[in-house]
Amino acid sequence: MARPGRGDRGLPPPRRLGVRLGARERPADEHRPAGGGSARPPGAPRPRPAPGRPRGPDERPSDRQPDPGLRVPRPPPDPRRGGDRSLDVRDRFRVGRRLQSRLRRRDDGRSARNLLWPCLLRHRGVRLCLRPDPPDRRPVAPGREGPPGRADVPHRERHRPRHHARPGLRPGRLRAVHPRRAPRGRRGVPPRAGDPVPAGSKARHARDEPLRGGLVRDLRLGPRPHRGGGPAPRFPGRADPRKPSRPHCDGSGRSRRARPRGPVRSREGRLLSSAALPPRFEAREVEARWQTEWDRAGAFRGPDRARPPTFSLVLPPPNVTGVLTLGHMLSDTVMDILVRRQRMKGVPTLWVPGLDHAGLATQVEVRRRLQKEGVVFEELPREEALRAIEAWREEHAARIAEQTRAAGFSVDWTRFRYTMDAESARATREVFVRLYRDGLVYRGERMVNWDPKLKTAISDLEVQHAEEEATLLYVRYAWADGSPGGLEVATVRPETIFGDVAVAVHPEDARHAAAVGREVRVPLTDRIVPVLADPAIDPTFGGGALKVTPRNDLVDYEVFQRHPELSMPPDILDDGAHLTGPWVPTAYHGLSVEEARPKATEALEAAGLLVRREPYRHSVARSERSEAPVEPRISTQWFVRMPGLAAPVVDAVRRGEIRIHPSRWERTFFRWMESIQDWCISRQVLWGHRIPAYFCRACGKPTVSVDPPARCEHCGGRDLLEDPDVLDTWFTSWLWPFLALGWPERTADLDRYYPTSVLVTGRDIMFFWVARMMMSGYYFTGQRPFSDVCFHGMLRDEEGRRMSKHLGNSPDPLDVVRERGADAMRFGLVFPNPTSEDGSFGPTALDGGRNFLTKVWNLGRFALGHLPPGTEPPRRAPSLAPTSSLENRWILSRYRRTAEEVDRALAAYEPTRGASALHAFVRHDLADRYVEIAKDALAGRRGEVLERETRSTLLYVLERTLRLLHPFVPHVTEELWHALPHDGELLTLAPWPDPAEAPTDPGAEVAMEPVLEAVRLLRNLRAEERIPTDLRPPAWIRPAGPEVARVLSSEVATIERLARVRPLVLLEPGAPAPPRSGSRVVPLGECYVERTPASAAETESLEREREKLTRLLEKTRARLGDRGFRDHAPAEVVREAEEKAKELEERIGRIDEHLKESGSSGANA
């Protein structure tokens, strides 16, 4: 299958990008200081905020109006580069192309920082300088925001008392007590003895434990939302006396800030929305509420009047065997994501839930339960046994339904199906009869896998092989004629000697050539058997001679069949694998295989026939259900002829009619399909669909019929006996896609929703189920049952074992949902687990999910707080002029790319990719960057126009992002969506966003880079210089080129605010570094380091940087010095390397200068 090429990624072709960029270019003389006026490009609808715009209340002149002397002029052309490259149009074009290729990768989740800097690298380093104010010169902002008495108290002092007033409590614990959480008026008051204690530390410990058990414990211990009136305080005796005053206690023991109910006023006194959201997402309450709402609205009913194309899928019916595991949750979440997206796209969708009776598996479980009560299942009368199973089913079916509902899966419960309901029974019988009439079902005596514990035949797929230790015995078979010696036969199963009919050697084995045709005496018996030659014998195994026990080994059976001179011996094992029969000495009768083995070994030894024994590791077949060693057994069973059924399926997959994702499983699929064996479908158990075959007591032949026949179709006899056996569960399950839609009736649902769209499942049942469904689909409906198969990985616990109900190592999803919420579980499952690989799931994944939801929730709260009542829902993307604020253009463009990526990922059945894209976008772009930048504008400090524009941009992006997130985390998004201005009744029915609605703006994305990079640099410097957080020291940047200067100068205020510096001054290229300033070398350019007294860390990091750059430079130079490289590499690559080398040399040079300075000034200090 063709992988989507790069061109499919929905990005505009390079030329257009280049043109766009070019069009955005302003004449160089427009470069101006921050806040300066802007010439209006022709056709631009509205002017940018005027230079004389109103100032924010806390704004000082120096905030915005850099000294005219510091205006950033165009640097002189660089003679080495033959002109001012950054203004060269062709160069621009190249940036566009590179940007494009970078942005492509960006879609793979790379960070913006690493994405774009290479485009900027050529501009040379930005110099950043930053100097902390000495304490006495610290600016005390007049009229600063914040409650009086706060801003003027030095930060450190403000908090110190809290740490020192309680010597008995470690600061680490106090840390978690948020002063703002205390009711107003109590800020800064140290916690008292009765105050809640943070739970974090304790929860951490639990989190370190392995998943099994650990998770459950952790879930109980971890911080969790308080359920109104719910659990008692977790620390008895520490009840919080302030509780009544805190309506939104989170129950984790931490107090929350009391939030005033009713209208909220912003700092400026404007009325904000009164529909304030609670400070924390209360998963349990919100999730239950929306699940009810969705049900009430019938949102998940498959439309009855749908016309193709529709989107439909069947839920792989879980076994009633037990409850659902997190593995099911992963699978179901993937399906839910796909379905919900389609539903939002307006496609009629149907998701059919169901339940599988899981015959043998269920019977085993019920048997086990009865055993605990002292009841032997096999001894129960049939009716009673069935009643016991039915009781089990009811109990578990309810539990499974509860689990499915709690997770918020959008299945259509009105179409629920059970594989043992009347319709399913009818369909199963029809299928059997039809296959029988078509000659594809037959009854035959063949070697089958026999489970001696459950006393039933099982299919090849139900057999598990595992390596086990055993002892290999070398047994001498004496010559029958009494001549000395004999043949040495190696075996691990001496107890089957009684069933031997021959000894076989390889025909070309020279050692035994003379033996062929002679006869040997079977040890422990007096039977004489021939020595045969057969090509199946492995001459390298043991002595090269194999004993032939046709009833007890498949290979032996095949050898036997090739030698018609042999006759079939009587059985030596009964159905419980006990020795029996005329060939077995009476001393062994009734012994199990395990008991007989040592006994036979001893006897052989006593008889002097045991030559030697050696330890041996070999593969043992065990029954999947009972774990008993499987005995090959010749038995009469019903079979389905598979090769004929498989052929059309193989064709269909080859033709691409059914696509398998990830496609690498196709090979495995084909291999199995092409060597497929007949399927043994009869089971000697109670629980299942009875085989619709009726044996005539007169002639012994079966009459096969959907309804019980009146007479034998062979002899007309009336005395008929229903076949006591039942059918393999999978004989019903393999019909599921059409069975669930009403087949064999020609129902409307079949017309509308068949073939289904996609099948999502773990690949553990690829052969059991998926392949067989394809076969039945083509055979019975003539159509593919689904167009796409999507295999996901198996969840493993933290010990790497597969999660299964069998091992009991999966937490109950219901517990997970109760403790952390369905959305947290869903995101925690999908986000870290690529569909193609096996994944893991533990408490940390859950935390990640929950934390992300909290982030989204708080974004919603933030936005809500900045929207005046009556704000219109965002009907279309805000149309931003090219002169609009950079951050708005940027976030729209980023949103657009994210939307595209999510769409693409889901269309390719890769929900993890979609989740990653959304996670990265929400956390990094939207929350960490955009919102932080936009705060100024939203507070009205950058003028009304910008405030309005920013508001509508924020609302638009957030609202559309909620829609994109909805399939992943439906509840929290539904709740937030309703709190925000919106059109429509339910988010779950709201339209899926068209990414193209929002414009891409590569120019804004490029321009944003230096801004973000500058912020990062300054913050880094602050940290290195250990400048207290509440200081806003002055800072300087020496921009690298005019382009960077232009961007930076227009965003000075933003950088100042985010980096917490003031004022930020842009220096001219040649200007000297400000005195007593610290600087750093950073990736973007070079960086200067300053020398303050504590500069060891700085010097160290400079040296590290230098080392790194030097290594890189050497590498680059080596490459450039290589003839081969110059001759063979594309010119562009060579040029890039040259530029890079120059770049590096310069940067290293600057670092050296700094190190030198630092050395001298360090000495002075």
Q: Quick check: 147 binds RNA (CB under 7 A)?
A: yes
Show the DSSP H helices in 740-798 as ranges. 748-753, 772-776
- Determine the interface stretch with RNA among 330-338, 340-348, 426-434, 1132-1140 (rule: CB under 7 A): 1132-1140
Per-residue interface string for the shown chain with RNA, residues 554-583, x marking contact by CB under 7 A: x-----------------------------
- What residues from 60 to 119 belong to the interface with RNA (CB under 7 A)? 108-111, 113-114, 118
- What residues from 754 to 773 belong to the interface with RNA (CB under 7 A)? 764, 767
Distance of CA 779 to the CA centre of its chain: 35
Work out which of 10, 627, 672, 698 binds RNA, going by CB under 7 A.
672
Give the C-alpha separation, 784 to 758, whole Å: 11
Which residues does 281 contact at the CB level (< 8 Å), separation at least 6?
225, 821, 853, 854, 857, 972, 975
- Determine the interface stretch with RNA among 128-136, 211-219, 222-230, 425-433 (rule: CB under 7 A): 222-230
Tokens representing residue 26 in the block: 């302003």
Show the DSSP H helices in 821-877 as ranges. 822-830, 843-865
- Determine the interface stretch with RNA among 64-72, 410-418, 803-811, 829-837 (rule: CB under 7 A): 829-837
- Determine the interface stretch with RNA among 72-80, 412-420, 848-856, 877-885 (rule: CB under 7 A): 848-856
Query: 528-533 and 502-505: which strand pairing?
Result: parallel
33 within 8 A of 66, measured Cβ to Cβ: yes
* In the complex, least distance from residue 405 CB atom to RNA, rounded to whole angstroms: 23
Q: Quick check: 800 binds RNA (CB under 7 A)?
A: yes
Q: Which amino acid is located at 1096 in the chain?
A: A
Count CA within 13 A, CB hemisphere, residue 609: 25
Q: Quick check: 1117 binds RNA (CB under 7 A)?
A: no
Work out which of 806, 935, 978, 1117 binds RNA, going by CB under 7 A.
935
Q: Strand ranges (DSSP E) for 498-588?
A: 502-505, 519-521, 528-533, 545-548
Work out which of 275, 607, 1133, 1165 binds RNA, going by CB under 7 A.
1133
Q: Quick check: 446 binds RNA (CB under 7 A)?
A: no
* In the complex, least distance from residue 171 CB atom to RNA, rounded to whole angstroms: 9
Work out which of 862, 986, 1099, 1155 binds RNA, going by CB under 7 A.
862
* In the complex, least distance from residue 1143 CB atom to RNA, rounded to whole angstroms: 8
424 within 8 A of 732, measured Cβ to Cβ: yes
* In the complex, least distance from residue 822 CB atom to RNA, rounded to whole angstroms: 14
648 within 8 A of 778, measured Cβ to Cβ: yes
Q: Quick check: 848 binds RNA (CB under 7 A)?
A: yes
Q: Quick check: 666 binds RNA (CB under 7 A)?
A: no
- Determine the interface stretch with RNA among 692-700, 774-782, 841-849, 942-950 (rule: CB under 7 A): 841-849
Q: Quick check: 1160 binds RNA (CB under 7 A)?
A: no
Work out which of 86, 100, 252, 1049 binds RNA, going by CB under 7 A.
252
* In the complex, least distance from residue 1115 CB atom to RNA, rounded to whole angstroms: 8
Give the C-alpha separation, 1082 to 417, whole Å: 63
Give the C-alpha separation, 481 to 986, whole Å: 91
- What residues from 170 to 189 belong to the interface with RNA (CB under 7 A)? 174-181
CA-angle at 700, arms to 697 and 702, nearest 5°: 105
Q: Quick check: 816 binds RNA (CB under 7 A)?
A: no
* In the complex, least distance from residue 1060 CB atom to RNA, rounded to whole angstroms: 8
Work out which of 40, 90, 155, 164 binds RNA, going by CB under 7 A.
155
Between 200 and 629, name the residue whose CB sits nearer to RNA.
Answer: 200
- Determine the interface stretch with RNA among 56-64, 317-325, 522-530, 670-678 (rule: CB under 7 A): 670-678
Tokens representing residue 608 in the block: 């002097």
Between 48 and 622, name the residue whose CB sits nearer to RNA.
Answer: 622
Residue 745 has a CB neighbour count (10 Å cut-off) of: 12
Between 664 and 948, name the residue whose CB sits nearer to RNA.
Answer: 664
- What residues from 1068 to 1087 belong to the interface with RNA (CB under 7 A)? 1083
SS3 450: strand
Q: Quick check: 1112 binds RNA (CB under 7 A)?
A: yes
Crossing angle of helices 1002-1025 and 1052-1059, rounded to 10°:
40
803 within 8 A of 797, measured Cβ to Cβ: yes
Per-residue interface string for the shown chain with RNA, residues 676-715, x marking contact by CB under 7 A: -x--------------------------------------
Q: Quick check: 279 binds RNA (CB under 7 A)?
A: yes
Work out which of 15, 1128, 1135, 1156 binds RNA, going by CB under 7 A.
1128
Work out which of 70, 647, 986, 1129 binds RNA, going by CB under 7 A.
1129
The residue among 198, 202, 154, 185 whose CA lies nearest residue 257 is 185
* In the complex, least distance from residue 648 CB atom to RNA, rounded to whole angstroms: 22
Residue 411 has a CB neighbour count (10 Å cut-off) of: 24
- What residues from 591 to 620 belong to the interface with RNA (CB under 7 A)? 619
Q: Quick check: 301 binds RNA (CB under 7 A)?
A: no
The residue among 1065, 886, 1063 whose CA lies nearest residue 72 is 1065
Work out which of 2, 3, 168, 482 binds RNA, going by CB under 7 A.
3
- How many positions of this chain bind RNA (CB under 7 A)? 108
* In the complex, least distance from residue 374 CB atom to RNA, rounded to whole angstroms: 35
Query: 1035-1038 and 1064-1066: which strand pairing?
Result: parallel
Work out which of 32, 711, 924, 978 binds RNA, going by CB under 7 A.
924
Residue carrying structure tokens 């790497």 = 800
Q: Quick check: 861 binds RNA (CB under 7 A)?
A: yes
The length of the chain in residues reads 1165
**Per-residue CA distances from 464 to 33, 357, 449, 511, 527 (Å):** 75, 22, 11, 36, 35
What are the backbone dihedrals phi and psi of residue 470, each rounded to the nearest 5 degrees, phi first?
-155, 175
CA-angle at 352, arms to 346 and 356, nearest 5°: 165
Give the C-alpha separation, 579 to 498, whole Å: 9
Give the C-alpha separation, 957 to 951, whole Å: 10
Between 82 and 1124, name the residue whose CB sits nearer to RNA.
Answer: 1124
Q: Report cis status (omega within 30 of 0) of the bond before 42.
A: no
Between 187 and 301, name the residue whose CB sits nearer to RNA.
Answer: 187
Between 702 and 821, name the residue whose CB sits nearer to RNA.
Answer: 821
Q: Quick check: 879 binds RNA (CB under 7 A)?
A: no
* In the complex, least distance from residue 1066 CB atom to RNA, rounded to whole angstroms: 20
- What residues from 335 to 364 belong to the interface with RNA (CB under 7 A)? none
- What residues from 998 to 1037 belong to the interface with RNA (CB under 7 A)? 1015-1016, 1019-1020, 1022-1024, 1028-1029
Give the C-alpha separation, 938 to 924, whole Å: 19
The residue among 867, 863, 967, 991 whose CA lies nearest residue 915 is 967
Work out which of 932, 1068, 1146, 1157 binds RNA, going by CB under 7 A.
932
287 within 8 A of 821, measured Cβ to Cβ: yes
Work out which of 60, 158, 234, 978 binds RNA, going by CB under 7 A.
158
Give the C-alpha separation, 529 to 520, whole Å: 6
832 within 8 A of 839, measured Cβ to Cβ: yes
Q: For the chain, how many helices (H) and strands (E)?
A: 35, 31
Residue carrying structure tokens 């909220």 = 264
- Determine the interface stretch with RNA among 41-49, 91-99, 1001-1009, 1129-1137 (rule: CB under 7 A): 1129-1137
Residue 466 has a CB neighbour count (10 Å cut-off) of: 9
Work out which of 56, 214, 223, 1074 binds RNA, going by CB under 7 A.
223
* In the complex, least distance from residue 1043 CB atom to RNA, rounded to whole angstroms: 17
Between 118 and 183, name the residue whose CB sits nearer to RNA.
Answer: 118
